[in-house]
Amino acid sequence: MESSLMNAVWFSDKRRKILLFLLEGKKDPEEIKNAFGVSWRSLILPLKELKEEELIINHNGSYELSSIGKMLAENVRPIDRILNLFEGNTDYWTERDFKEVPPHLLNRIGEIEDYTIIEPDLNKMFEPAERFLQSLHMSRHINAVFSIYHPLYPALYCQLAKKGISMSVILTEPVLQRMREDCKEETEIIRQFQNTRFFLYSNETVPPSLVITDNMLLVSFFTKGGRYDHRDVMSFAKSSLEWGEHLFDHYRSVSHELTELLL
């Protein structure tokens, strides 16, 4: 029975996707066909096989998960998400250093969905991506972790603060020092706004750089060699935003607020 269930779930991408789709609730044939974008004929066999394994139930022409099917699907979903995350970008992910991502969030990293890897061309290596800038200006709030000093960010975030966008920014000690030295004027302007808060990351280790808004996630994971290779992960999916907010909350929990940024 165990090997049969394993075959049903893992040895067919279509069967696995059907199980995960039915986690949303009961679906009729038209809904299933439209979700997969294929002919109904191509779905008959995988549905029949899942029904034979008692993982799904056909009730009055609609399909739903059995109690066993629901338990399996709920446990399969995190692994399926991770597989989807790595698929097509395995080289990128195998090079990343995740030591500063807490285990409970690393286990949920598959929640980063529908993402793209932003990599600037050589002529615009230090210019923020246009989609990133557009998203920032459309945001109502911005939570960020600056573990990489970017010379254009102080002026950019000064503009955003003037627009009334609520901002919470966590700085590492080296980034804070660079801001004190290189952009004291912009930093002082930002600090005066009531809608901005600054925190200093308390750990000696370096977290990934992170920008999370109400509509976008941008995260810059370092390589295993501790380098920033100018490749960032960007996503607008709801699950990605929730994961990013939880990561930011973790870093804020180990930071302390700076009331006088330039002391």
User: Hunting for tokens 């603060």 — which residue is that?
Assistant: 161
CA 101 to CA 137: how far, in whole Å?
Answer: 28
Q: Are 99 and 127 members of one domain?
A: yes
Is 25 within the bounds of a domain?
yes
Q: Are 79 and 130 members of one domain?
A: no
Averaging pLDDT over each range in 176-190, 197-211, 236-250, which range is the top one?
236-250
Q: Are 133 and 223 members of one domain?
A: yes
Is 263 within the bounds of a domain?
no
**CATH code, 159:** 3.30.870.10
**pLDDT at residue 1, as a whole number:** 44
Domains of the chain: total: 2
Residue type, 107: N
**pLDDT at residue 145, as a whole number:** 96
Which of 28, 59, 83 is the last residue in one of the domains? 83
Which of 64, 83, 102 is the last residue in one of the domains? 83
CA 221 to CA 100: how far, in whole Å?
Answer: 10
Nearest to residue 150, comparing CAs of 124, 173, 169, 178? Answer: 178
Alpha-carbon distances, residue 141 vs 53, 80, 134, 234 (angstroms): 48, 31, 14, 17
- Angle formed at CA 241 by CA 237 and CA 246, multiple of 5 degrees: 150
Q: Are 171 and 229 members of one domain?
A: yes
Burial zone of 151 (CB within 10 Å; 0-12 exposed, 13-18 middle, 19+ buried): exposed
Is 23 within the bounds of a domain?
yes
Checking if the pLDDT of 263 tops 70, the result is no
pLDDT tens profile 221-247 = 999 999 999 899 999 999 999 999 999
Q: Are 31 and 99 members of one domain?
A: no
Q: Are 237 and 107 members of one domain?
A: yes
CA 232 to CA 77: how far, in whole Å?
Answer: 25
**CATH code, 74:** 1.10.10.10
pLDDT band with cut points at 50, 70 and 90 for residue 64: very high
> What's the domain range around 223?
91-258
Q: Are 104 and 60 members of one domain?
A: no
User: Is the CA virtual torsion 188, 157, 233, 121 positive or negative?
Assistant: negative
Name every residue whose Cβ is closer than 8 Å to that of residue 144 and which is 6 or more positions away in sequence: 167, 168, 169, 170, 210, 211, 212, 248
Nearest to residue 77, comparing CAs of 20, 4, 7, 117? Answer: 20
pLDDT tens profile 102-138 = 999 999 999 999 999 998 766 555 566 788 888 888 9
Is 35 within the bounds of a domain?
yes
Is 219 within the bounds of a domain?
yes
Phi, psi dihedrals of residue 244, rounded to the nearest 5°: -65, -40
Q: Are 214 and 238 members of one domain?
A: yes
Checking if the pLDDT of 93 tops 80, the result is yes
Alpha-carbon distances, residue 139 vs 149, 218, 236 (angstroms): 22, 13, 12
Poorest-pLDDT segment among 52-66, 84-98, 174-188, 199-213 = 174-188
Q: Are 244 and 116 members of one domain?
A: yes
Is 43 within the bounds of a domain?
yes
pLDDT tens profile 65-90 = 999 999 999 988 888 899 899 988 99
Is 103 within the bounds of a domain?
yes
Which of 32, 54, 83 is the last residue in one of the domains? 83
Is 69 within the bounds of a domain?
yes
